[in-house]
């Protein structure tokens, strides 16, 4: 996957950030959108891919280069240790190449990583972003984080204490489903704009914006590699 900063041009970022400003004009809540290229390293998937490539190389070597024993009375054959050393060297090289490719190719990490592990990594990274971006630190305790992880194709929305006590988890689940449906149909930027607008509309009733409200968090789209 190319660096995430290259996936979103200035126009797309500006569109999302404008949506945040418009939504926060309706409510005292702070809305923070975050997009991550991935939420975990998934080194185990790279190692598994390296082992598979090693096995394939070993099988090919055995098939195409079978060891032929010297005939009786001959001393001109290849030393017995040389093919073994060549096989070991090729297997080591195959594992290194496979592990490297596995760490770079998104489809490899998706194929060899259990969905349960991916969901956990996304949830953990979203909660870390919730605290790192100070969404939990607003004076009204009513901030929400909209988190999208591209590699895992998973979204999470987290609300601060007042949001949870007033609207509950079902409200966040509805927003998350709306976001996922939009992500299936269109661009990431458009999906974010839609869910941000919807969040602002729904939050405006329980958390209306007052004339003395202060914008505590910047209206920026946060991109995380």
For residue range 190-208, what is the model confidence (pLDDT) as tens digits?
Answer: 999 999 999 999 999 999 9
- Whether the pLDDT of residue 70 is over 60: the answer is no
Per-residue confidence at 73, pLDDT binned at 50, 70, 90?
Answer: low
- Strand extents, DSSP E, 102-208: 144-149, 154-159
Rounded average pLDDT over 36-52: 88
Collapsing DSSP to helix, strand or coil, 147 comes out as: strand
Give the least confident one: 55-59, 74-78, 157-161. 74-78
Q: Are strands 144-149 and 31-36 parallel, antiparallel or unpaired?
A: parallel
Q: What is the CA radius of gyration of the chain?
A: 26
Per-residue confidence at 75, pLDDT binned at 50, 70, 90?
Answer: low
- Whether the pLDDT of residue 95 is over 60: the answer is yes
Collapsing DSSP to helix, strand or coil, 65 comes out as: coil
At 180 the pLDDT is 96
At 143 the pLDDT is 94
- Whether the pLDDT of residue 146 is over 70: the answer is yes
CA distance linking residue 212 with residue 194, whole number of Å: 27
At 190 the pLDDT is 94
Percent of the chain with pLDDT over 90: 54
139 or 34: which carries more pLDDT confidence?
34
Of 97-101, 107-111, 188-192, the range with the highest mean pLDDT is 188-192
Do residues 192 and 22 lie in contact, with contact meaning Cβ atoms separated by under 8 Å? no
- Whether the pLDDT of residue 114 is over 80: the answer is yes
Rounded average pLDDT over 162-184: 95
At 81 the pLDDT is 66
- Whether the pLDDT of residue 67 is over 70: the answer is no
Say how many C-beta atoms besides its own lie within 10 A of residue 35's C-beta.
Answer: 22
- Whether the pLDDT of residue 1 is over 80: the answer is no
Rounded average pLDDT over 9-29: 94
- Whether the pLDDT of residue 3 is over 80: the answer is no
Nearest to 32 by CA among 213, 225, 214, 216: 216
Q: What's the token pair of residue 123?
A: 């949830």
160 or 86: which carries more pLDDT confidence?
160
């Amino acid at each position: 996957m190319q660096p995430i900063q290259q996936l979103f041009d200035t126009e797309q970022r500006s569109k999302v950030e404008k949506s945040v400003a418009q939504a926060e004009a309706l409510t005292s809540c702070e809305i923070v959108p975050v997009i991550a290229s991935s939420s975990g390293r998934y080194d185990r998937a790279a190692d598994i891919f390296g082992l598979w490539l090693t096995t394939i190389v070993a099988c090919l070597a055995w098939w195409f280069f079978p060891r032929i024993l010297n005939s009786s009375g001959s001393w001109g054959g290849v030393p017995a240790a040389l093919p073994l050393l060549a096989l070991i060297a090729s297997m080591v090289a195959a594992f290194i190449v496979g592990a490297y490719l596995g760490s770079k190719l998104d489809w490899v990490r998706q194929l060899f990583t259990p969905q349960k592990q991916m969901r956990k990594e996304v949830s953990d990274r979203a909660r870390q972003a919730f605290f790192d971006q100070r969404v939990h630190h607003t004076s009204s305790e009513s901030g929400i984080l909209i988190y999208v992880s591209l590699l895992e194709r998973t979204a999470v929305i987290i609300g601060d204490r007042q949001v949870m006590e007033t609207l509950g988890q079902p409200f966040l689940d509805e927003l998350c489903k709306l976001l996922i449906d939009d992500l299936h149909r269109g661009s990431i930027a458009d999906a974010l704009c839609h869910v941000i607008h919807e969040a602002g509309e729904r939050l405006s009733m329980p958390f209306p914006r007052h004339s003395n409200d202060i914008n505590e968090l910047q209206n920026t789209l946060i991109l995380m590699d």
